[in-house]
Chain A
């Protein structure tokens, strides 16, 4: 018995020493996302960053050190995200924070990062506030913001002959600011258009029938949609049955992302102008390499979440390699102006507002073999859809 105890003690000791030795030779990134609340997006996202970690370590890691990602769930709540961030920073001693999906969680973590002086790379939150009105020097963001996606869609929408527009958007910050930016940019380009109706169903709780009827009653020539996920499915089903989309142009945020397009199956409406990710139609060498690696590893096709997860960790690794340090100030200096390659081509983290120039694909929805696809799609570079530096200086508080 006694020998056994000593043996166990030794084993613990050895394991502890091994841990300590490991810590010397690895660099940790703390990752937070809404895994339990939004699995449709975050599962492919997780696969994306797992692939990135594998590739980085196969290529020699971070300047010889192994890259480790410690991932936490935030339950979809800002307060829980901060608890997770705190754990990652205080007890896991991560070099930086990354991730988040919902805008309010992204903002909460970015405020935490600012307070605790930790580097934070926001992956997905779309709100303009995170880089502009509530931006801070510790926070960078990967995905094209609300403003950028709106600007991409406006470019296509302004060419439509439609003059009477209606909007349908989920009633929270994302929906509100998407509509506001779209309206502003659209009215600048086309002073002749009218906004005839707006519908604000609660996120996740759309009562689609009455909403569709109400929009149809205003008789718009074109519709802007910002709903996504289950709300989008209900809206499309009711809209198809009630003929809302017949002979009307529809412009829609995010609908071309496989996460939201694929569930629509054979009920996908045709001809909507959308932002998204047509993984089947991108023929660049960077993307082909990513696609091949992803499919080989997971036996599944990538969603947009996969790209975001992959590129978040790839960018983080590039930052760490360039900084040669985990000091937040050096990380910031390394990131400002850093260019990294991505499956969508080279992107740059801008110095002026810490936004990356990752773009998005704009195209039209179509039906092919009973499935929704994006056609006539083209890649829009993020850098082409941002306002001028003078305007950003006005928007962003000084550090």
Chain B
């Protein structure tokens, strides 16, 4: 019995540190709607700065003071980030801010190694909490007890802050309806800045408080960020109490789960999230999101098929691309094939995101399923390459059909997180089922047949399929189905009213996107000659998101440009510099500032503004519409 109580308390201690970070993320998202990917980076910075301060200043005051000051310093950094960077892009398309915070995260990962060196650092133990308390023969670290108390205390302080102060009332109001708060004359700028500061402070405090238990190292951020997102979503976005309950739930299930299934930690949080979201689509304590009041038609330049001149230009560009093998070496061709494959992958996600309005955080699952499909067919069934390329993506189709059915029942960030959960579940199956998938050692020897083996042939194959995929998806966009899909995106209520079966349309779109992603994965398997669980990992899903956002969500085919720019830059930087993450991150941040609607999106709006002013269409009117957004 004493053991189970000890295990329970241990779980509570883990929950407390999770809660601190999660609550900050939850507040930030609730008010500003920013998916703050950099939250883990702030957590890590908190730990590093606290490490430096507590090493320098000794004694109890030095330690606790160091932790507090570290959180404050990081909060100031957060304020600067918000004022200099995020303020510029609040009016960008949804999720665009994710791109900025992703860039920051990349930069911070390299910066901490530059400043603090590559080795893992061991922080001091907390003065007064070094030992353990004997609990009927079980040792419980006194620092754990401190954390167990701290969690509810922070919860209480936040509750008071939100219920008893004017600032808290504004924050709650903004969480519920920020347009209304703005209409009532509240200075949103400072509200957002202060909320961001509080959120970052909590993240940094969570990180700083880890130094007596953890090692401080440069991968801390990635370790926590996904888990924290999951906790926030299980609890319900914007709900502090929800975050607390979810943190306790996840930590306790983990503490007791490992007694029965020692391998469960790797997937547990995602299983819990999938179950919670299917049963309660807005998390445990969340409320349904109010229908969007924004009319998307105003922000988007109306979509239209390419004019015949533009078609000729596109064909000319394709011909130029197809001529690459005549004047470049094998390496450039292989990189070209890889970029073409990522164009396919990115346009498939783009189709789901921009036409369907469904942002998937787990799109790599279908890419990976396509790749594994090919690997199984080629290695186990011994099918020829053409058959594999045609049949392999069916595994992606199948996965998309099953998971898509559940996912399209949700919308917005909940949809995104459910897709993430499914992707992680698929990933962990590939990772754990060693007998079939080879585990993380993957499946080797999936090389193309002779006719496609030479780099130029494979390049033509990839380029051809990529062009075909873009073409087909464009045809779908301008087909009746595409119009119906856009209707469900712009107004679910109105489209249902005119007889469109929203869920079925979205489900179909999900399956189409998943199949095309599977096709990209199938080609990728042949390009690399091997398949690994990595092919369906979170980082690949994030890459796809970044490509789409970089190109511009509100465009028809912006992802093509986004994929080319991002992938080419990534490959080139990794090859050229030791600090590729720092440079790539800085570059993404710059693009975010320079092209607030994505590269293609911003260019399009500049061109259309020119066109309008040259055709002496009242420029006053258009500018007014834009400011009215």
Contacts and interface: CB of A to CB of B under 8 A. Distances in A.
Interface of A: 35-37, 39-40, 42-43, 72-73, 75, 77-80, 82-84, 86-87, 90-91, 103-104, 107-108, 111-112, 114-115, 127, 129, 134, 171-173, 176, 197-202, 204-205, 207-211, 213-214, 216-217, 229-230, 233-234, 237-238, 241-243, 259, 262-265, 267
Nearest to A267: B122
Given A80-B574, A230-B217, A264-B122, A205 B334 contact: no
Contacts of B578: 35-36, 73
Interface stretch (B374-382, B392-400, B527-535): B527-535
A109 to B, nearest CB: 10
A87 B528 contact: no
B298 interface: no
Contacts of A213: 3, 6-7, 10, 138, 255
A78 B530 contact: yes
Contact of B122 (A86, A198, A202, A265): A265
B529 A112 contact: yes
B612 interface: no
B258 A39 contact: no
A104 B537 CA distance: 14
A36 B580 contact: yes
Which size class do B's interface residues fall under? Answer: 35 or more
Nearest to A201: B265
Given A83-B335, A233-B122, A78 B3 contact: no
Contacts of B263: 171, 200
B541 to A, nearest CB: 14
Interface in B521-562: 524, 528-530, 532, 534-535, 539
A104 B440 CA distance: 6
Contacts of A114: 445
A173 B140 CA distance: 32
A207 B255 contact: yes
Nearest to B130: A241
B521 to A, nearest CB: 11
Contacts, number: 198
B219 interface: yes
Contact of A171 (B217, B220, B265, B571): B265
B14 A210 contact: yes
Query: Among the interface residues A37, A114, A172, which one has the most CB atoms of the partner chain B within 10 A?
Result: A172
Interface in B199-215: 212-215
Interface stretch (B112-120, B383-391, B487-495, B588-596): B112-120
Interface in B404-455: 431-432, 434, 439-442, 444-445, 447, 455
B503 interface: no
B598 interface: no
A238 B141 contact: yes
Interface in B246-292: 251, 254-255, 258-259, 262-263, 265-266
Contacts of B39: none
B529 A82 contact: yes
Interface of A is mostly: helix
B258 A211 contact: yes
B11 interface: yes
Nearest to B131: A241
B10 A90 contact: no
Interface in B79-110: 109-110
A173 B433 CA distance: 11
B334 A83 contact: yes
A214 B331 contact: no
B4 to A, nearest CB: 9
Contacts of A243: 132, 139
A262 B119 contact: yes
B575 A39 contact: no
Contact of B442 (A39, A78, A87, A263): A78
Contact of B110 (A36, A77, A90): A36
Nearest to B335: A83
Contact of A108 (B266, B447, B528): B528
Given A104-B441, A233-B122, A241 B255 contact: no
The 9 A-B pairs at the shortest CB distance, nearest first, are namely A39-B118, A233-B215, A90-B331, A210-B255, A209-B10, A91-B331, A90-B330, A230-B215, A263-B120
Contacts of B172: none
A318 to B, nearest CB: 28
